[in-house]
Structure 1
């Protein structure tokens, strides 16, 4: 299920104001490297400069129970790993891959 969408932004402060107005909530996470909003079971994240992944467009993340198995399954079906599984802290693992058309998709597993 898609629960998380990350958006690359060029100006974090300006983007934060726009998304707070759009979503009607203040950010749950508010740092210089990431701003995250939680509303109605959805997490919207703002990543300045595309973050370490160098995102250039929004990335939808599927929440899965076994990230390694899911990544193996999608790559055997024709996807290409973009960013291998890595721990981003707090027991959360993330990975990204591209579909055959080059669209970037993400996976998240919470331990």
Structure 2
């Protein structure tokens, strides 16, 4: 993430970490917490916290499945592109609207 992008994100109080997670997620149909940890270097608890916040906002969803190796359950996540687009559109509309 370059300096201008980081400045734009933090200017609105957005979490650069969450933006990076969403950016990663939009390039994948489904992903696991492990996938994000490998990509970003974040810890599992940190990724879990951010995904939980994004899920509460309706921007990502999850489903449980059996791990490919058969060792217990795994949670797969996916992004909801239309919801993310709506949030970004709403922000753009709000910022560009005049209050005259």
TM > 0.5: no
Greater share of helix residues, 1 or 2? Answer: 2
Q: Which has the larger radius of gyration?
A: 2
Greater share of strand residues, 1 or 2? Answer: 1
